[in-house]
Amino acid sequence: MKSFSDWIRQPGLLNAVPVGLFLLVGFAGPLVLVLLYSFMPPKTFTLNQVPTVENYLSVVTQSYYISFGWSLMLAVITVALLLVITYPIAYGMTKLFNRWATLITILVALPLLISENIRLFGWVLLLLKNGVIDGSLQYLLGVSLSGLLYTVPAVVLGLVYVYLPFMLFPLVIGMSMVPDSLKEAASDLGASRLQIFWEVELPLSMPGILIGSLLVFILSLGSLAESKILGGQVIVMIADDIESAFTFAQNWPKGSVLSVLLITLSLVIIFFLFRNIDLDRLVGRR
């Protein structure tokens, strides 16, 4: 049995102290604060009140389910679209493009260096009435496409565009974990291309697919800028409601309740998604 002084002196533990403290203050702390505020009376700014579930009741009875619904639906659509779009790209990057894959990696990663909002405003210029697309079409063909911006598809476009790297790179990693010899073996045993895909490639690249989907889902669920900048007033996503509650409405407890509900929703979905999936098992490490 190790004594406490031995235990505390383990190099691994000591090395984990700085990041542990940082996470405690920067990650766990705010979460706890949000949780505590969600039980304070409406429109209070201190934590020394009598706890109440009033905020939860009011949120449930109001129409917040609409913004929850939009956020959920758009997150699911974004994940689905990105899977379809990035799977072929990831396949090409791991199997076909060879040295060009590096160039593609750089090109995909480069926009991440520019603020998301600035990039979204770039799309506004493209999609705007009399903007780049509409204006060019009017000039060249005499056709007008003025209704592009401030639509749900524009929001989806923004989400897909912004979160593409978060799906692509995990997929690339997932696919590079499938050895060519396994596919050759499957083919040698009579499998067609489609059968190789279902029996070998897909299950073995599943960790990458799941991680990419999870990242994109969580990021889209909490996204704000895409619906505000490209969607205008057409839809309100839940992150928008949370922001309004904390800023415009100055109602921290209500914002906290919405945050807690969003976090819980994410956790429940992650739990159900990963409950039956053992990543180590999927790739045969156990």
Partner 1 sequence: MNEVPLGFLELRGVTKQFGEFTALEDVNLSISEGEFFTLVGPSGSGKTTLIRILVGMDSPTSGEIALRGDVINHVPANRRPTCMVFQNLALFPHKTVGQNVEFAMKIAGVATSTRRERALELLELLRLPSDFYSKRINQCSGGERQRIALARALAFDPEILFFDEPLSALDFRLRKTLEKELKDIHRETGKTFVYITHSLEEAMVMSDRIGILNHGKLIQIGSPDDIYNRPLNKFVAQFMGEVNTLAVEKAGTGKVKDSATGSMYEITENGQEFESGFMIIRPEVMKIGGAADVLPNRIQGVLFNDYALGSRIQYQVRSADGEDQWLVERLQDDPFSGNAGEPVTIGWRAEDSILVSS
CA angle, residues 197, 199, 201, in degrees to nearest 5: 45
Among 186, 221, 229, 236, binds partner 1 (CB under 8 A): 186
> Under the criterion CB under 8 A, does residue 249 sit at the interface with partner 1?
no
Q: Select from 51-59, 127-135, 194-202, 253-261 the region that touches partner 1 (CB under 8 A).
A: 194-202
Among 49, 195, 247, 250, binds partner 1 (CB under 8 A): 195
> Under the criterion CB under 8 A, does residue 35 sit at the interface with partner 1?
no
Among 5, 181, 233, 276, binds partner 1 (CB under 8 A): 181
> Under the criterion CB under 8 A, does residue 194 sit at the interface with partner 1?
no
Q: What is the radius of gyration, based on Cα positions, of the chain?
A: 24
> Under the criterion CB under 8 A, does residue 187 sit at the interface with partner 1?
yes
Question: Least distance from C-beta 167 to partner 1, angstroms?
Answer: 22
Among 203, 219, 232, 263, binds partner 1 (CB under 8 A): 203
> Under the criterion CB under 8 A, does residue 204 sit at the interface with partner 1?
yes
Among 34, 81, 200, 225, binds partner 1 (CB under 8 A): 200
Among 12, 18, 142, 284, binds partner 1 (CB under 8 A): 284
Q: Which is nearer to partner 1, 63 or 181 (CB)?
A: 181
Binding-residue total with partner 1 (CB under 8 A): 23
> Under the criterion CB under 8 A, does residue 58 sit at the interface with partner 1?
no
Contacting residues toward partner 1, per CB under 8 A: 179, 181-182, 184-192, 195, 199-200, 203-204, 281-286
